[in-house]
Amino acid sequence: MATIPVSEVSLSASAPVNQAERITSLDTLRGFALLGILLMNIVAMSMTFAAYDDPTVAGGSTGANLWVWTAMHILAEGKMRCLFSMVFGASVILLTSRLERSGAPSADIYYRRTLWLMLFGILHAYFLWAGDILYPYALCGLALFPFRNIAPRKLLLIGGIIAVLDMALYVGGGFFFREVISKGQAAIAAEQSGKKLTEEQQSEKRSYEQWRRSNRPTAEELKKDGDEWRGSPAKVIAARAKVVSPGHNKAYYSPLWGSWDIFSMMFIGMGLFKLGVFSAERSTRFYVLTTLIGYGIGLPLNSISAWIIIKNHFDPAIHTFAQSSYDIGRLSVALGHMGVIMLLCKFGAMKWLTSSLGAIGQMAFSNYITQSIITAFLFTGYGFALYGKLQRYQIYYVVAAIWVFQMIVSPIWLRHFRFGPLEWGWRSLTYWKRQPMRLDSTRTMEAGA
């Protein structure tokens, strides 16, 4: 697959990027990340959120189910979101630089585009998928615009500092949750022995119970959770709102909301794009070394943390401590994945795969929402109500089917249309002008110009 160097991208009119201007390697990376995100999203889409990190809660934790959890922990968990966040950061530079060199009102268009994304994210979160990333991406995106002209190495430094702070948060979280659990269990034991609890012990008990309901629900609580998600559409929306609202009500700069995670990878993505990394402009040696170093650091780190977590039977405090290497491990593996994709694009290898991934990436918004529609229909009361019915390994049959569907449909769609359907709507709203949709309509407009 041919790539278009950043330095050669045409920067003409104040309008959405056309096909000739696309950086195909960036689209391919975006498509790869989008398919990869489903590997992890599918868990919380199909069963209780507590099972996302802890397979002992639901979905099975032995045999094939444990192997699947381990493989996802090492290769996918956080890594695909890391890539997707970096690609989002790259798109900030790509969009604003194109607009500014064409003389267009970059701030106006950028913020309008971002605010529309925020609205889409709110609707998506409450009606389709509680783990929506569009809303937090839009909120973080609002703060990125002033950083667009900073030197790439400074952007990488900012992202690295935030990632280090995020790592410290995991260590602090390990100590915090260990204390919540130990004190809460002690308060419960004291109450069961007939002792009257002090106000402090009652508070510790409440904190523990709140943690336990979210992370270690009882069989009765799991049944109630399943009944809600398999219930009427109104019940499903209400259940989703209970998950979404706490996150939306947190300050977006709060590390507990996940903004540090998002900001760090977006800044790193902005820096890497400015250095030509995502456009396959760097040398073959650069990408080979990136792949070897990334996997060489990340795979052992993630394997060790998986081993520690499993050996300690998914103890929540130890799990959190083990995740202190999370950001290093996921960024390293993500860069390893990126190196492989860039090498494939650079040499035009496996074009059947990179072409399909590029089409998926070009329609990433539409494909992301499509994944949510399909899974909501399969797992919730919107349709087949399979929520909580499948084991962990079985949900990956669904993932494979969605992948095949999107890899077939996306290239076919783009043979006839300039954008995915949601990309078309988003761009029309961003530019306050109805965009041409069909490829032949674009040629007709150009011929009549």
Q: Are 156 and 268 in contact (CB under 8 A)?
A: yes
Per-residue CA distances from 104 to 89, 120, 222, 274, 377 (Å): 20, 25, 53, 21, 42
- The average pLDDT across 130-135 equals 94
Whether residue 258 is predicted with pLDDT greater than 80 in this model: the reply is no
Report pLDDT for 122: 96
Whether residue 25 is predicted with pLDDT greater than 70 in this model: the reply is yes
- The average pLDDT across 374-388 equals 97
Report pLDDT for 15: 53
Helices (H), 312-363: 316-322, 326-347, 351-362
- The average pLDDT across 385-414 equals 97
Comparison of pLDDT for 18 and 408, the residue scoring more: 408
Report pLDDT for 1: 37
3-state secondary structure of 54: coil
pLDDT tens, residue by residue, 170-188: 778 778 888 888 888 899 9
pLDDT tens, residue by residue, 330-371: 999 999 999 999 999 999 999 999 999 999 999 999 999 999
Whether residue 112 is predicted with pLDDT greater than 90 in this model: the reply is yes
The string of DSSP letters for 186-205 reads: HHHHHHHTTPPPPHHHHHHH
Residues 6+ apart with CB under 8 A from 137: 85, 88, 117, 121, 262
| Residue 102, both tokens | 């064409």
Whether residue 222 is predicted with pLDDT greater than 80 in this model: the reply is yes
Work out the pLDDT band at 386, boundaries 50, 70, 90. very high
Give the whole-angstrom CA distance, residue 215 versus residue 315. 11
Report pLDDT for 318: 83
Report pLDDT for 10: 38
- The average pLDDT across 376-381 equals 97
Report pLDDT for 297: 96
Whether residue 206 is predicted with pLDDT greater than 70 in this model: the reply is yes
Whether residue 390 is predicted with pLDDT greater than 80 in this model: the reply is yes
Mean pLDDT, the chain, as a whole number? Answer: 89
Q: Are 83 and 40 in contact (CB under 8 A)?
A: no
Q: Are 396 and 404 in contact (CB under 8 A)?
A: no
pLDDT tens, residue by residue, 294-341: 999 999 999 999 999 999 999 887 887 887 788 899 999 999 999 999
Give the whole-angstrom CA distance, residue 308 versus residue 29. 31
- The average pLDDT across 376-402 equals 97
The vertex-332 CA angle with 329 and 336, nearest 5°, equals 135
Report pLDDT for 23: 87
| Residue 245, both tokens | 């609202």
Q: Which amino acid is at 74?
A: I
Whether residue 9 is predicted with pLDDT greater than 50 in this model: the reply is no
- The average pLDDT across 234-258 equals 81
- The average pLDDT across 192-207 equals 88
Whether residue 255 is predicted with pLDDT greater than 80 in this model: the reply is no
Per-residue CA distances from 268 to 35, 249, 264, 288, 423 (Å): 21, 27, 6, 19, 25
Highest-confidence segment of 159-168, 214-223, 280-289: 280-289
Using H for helix, E for strand and C for coil, what is the string for 38-54? HHHHHHHHHCCHHHCCC
Residue 417's DSSP bridge partners are: 438
* pTM for this entry: 0.90
Whether residue 169 is predicted with pLDDT greater than 60 in this model: the reply is yes
Least confident of 7-16, 60-69, 119-128: 7-16
Report pLDDT for 408: 97
Q: How many helices (DSSP H) and strands (DSSP E) are in the chain?
A: 18, 0
Q: Are 358 and 27 in contact (CB under 8 A)?
A: yes
Place of tokens 């499948």: 390
Neighbours of 27 (CB within 10 A): 24
Least confident of 94-103, 343-352, 402-411: 94-103
Q: Which amino acid is at 43?
A: V
Comparison of pLDDT for 293 and 190, the residue scoring more: 293
Report pLDDT for 103: 81
Work out the pLDDT band at 13, boundaries 50, 70, 90. very low
Q: Are 355 and 1 in contact (CB under 8 A)?
A: yes
Report pLDDT for 11: 36
Whether residue 448 is predicted with pLDDT greater than 70 in this model: the reply is no
Report pLDDT for 191: 87
Whether residue 12 is predicted with pLDDT greater than 80 in this model: the reply is no
Report pLDDT for 449: 36
The string of DSSP letters for 74-140 reads: HHTTTHHHHHHHHHHHHHHHHHHHHHHHTT--HHHHHHHHHHHHHHHHHHHHHHT-TT-SHHHHHHH
